[in-house]
Amino acid sequence: MTLTADQTVEALRAVGEPTRLRVLSLLAAEELSVMELSRVLDQSQPRVSRHLKLMADAGLIERFPDGARVFYRLSHDALSRRLIDTVLDLLDDAEGEADHRRLDEVRKERAADAARYFEQVAPQWDQMRSLYVCESAVESAIEKAAGPGPFERVVDLGTGSGRMLTLFGKKAKMSVGLDLSQNMLNIARANVAKAGLDKVELRHGDIFSTRLPHGSADLVIVHQVLHYLADPAAAVAEAARLVMPGGRLLIVDFAPHKLEQLREAHQHRRLGFPDAEIREWLHEAGLTPSAPVALPPDTEGLTVHIWTGERAAQPARKIA
């Protein structure tokens, strides 16, 4: 497929302004809100919003509301991305470098806020989770979605208190849990030891760059993690990279909701995820999605969804 002359001219007009080029460069790094872009660019939100609208109308970027906030990301359209990549490859300016330094400052502040939060709540983490939905029902559904096992290797990304490791530990020959919070890892170590599991490895690690081997696990779990992340799609891609042929990825998180207070009180960046978004990420990562499982709360609260993506098994080799 190619762009028509009119489509090409419209797209070039949409990027033909210095601030818009700066915005594209920033969105190539991660999805951002208008407020964050305004801060990095040092421009008013109305002015930034106008630039964003022009590029969204041209199909170069995508706008998606999340609760009371609106986020933007680069278009998933292959032709639009090809044009954007070409323009950004040709772009070399000091202003863009300064923008990315300011974006790094925003990231560091977000990371520091999140780290403080997790260190504070680590001892009460499982109790806090139970406020949203019946945890026993969620865990039963997770076990059903994962299958009976046994598993060669289970990887739990953002392991927190290690609950997924203890849930699947006796069904796995080997388990690995990663988390950025040392306090969380200490609690996970205690919980793993209490459960009598000796084939569990706990690592200080980043969900975006796990440094684990490609295709090394037949069950990868991302449990109640994505809503904290600035780039959840990248986390799904890294998690999917670890899934071996015939293995599966389980994502457990909230359905879309409107509880804005969770942003400030509990550092939630995204207020849940629609099914179509998760399915798209799984497809892009080379996994085949299954129908999601919805677990609404018994009373007022948040609905938990379980999304499963499977990697096709390699065909059996024929014996000559």
Burial of 92 (0-12, 13-18, 19+ CB in 10 A): exposed
Find the mean pLDDT for residues 198-227.
Answer: 92
| CA 102/CA 255 separation, integer angstroms | 32
Q: Dump pLDDT digits (tens) for 245-273.
A: 999 999 999 999 888 888 887 788 899 99
Residue 81 one-letter amino acid: R
Task: Specify the pLDDT at position 107.
Answer: 79
Per the rule left: phi > 0, alpha: psi between -120 and 50, beta: everything else, 294 is beta
The contacts of residue 96 (CB under 8 Å, 6+ apart) are 21, 22, 25
Per the rule left: phi > 0, alpha: psi between -120 and 50, beta: everything else, 250 is beta
Find the mean pLDDT for residues 80-87.
Answer: 85
Q: How far is CA 100 from CA 75, 110, 217, 233, in A?
A: 20, 15, 35, 20
pTM of the model: 0.71
231 by DSSP, 3-state: which?
Answer: coil
Band of residue 90 on the pLDDT scale cut at 50, 70, 90: confident
| Percent of the chain whose pLDDT exceeds 70 | 90
Find the mean pLDDT for residues 14-37.
Answer: 87
216 by DSSP, 3-state: which?
Answer: coil
| CA end-to-end span of the chain | 42
**Residue 48 reports pLDDT greater than 80:** yes
Q: What's the mean pLDDT when you consider all of the chain?
A: 86
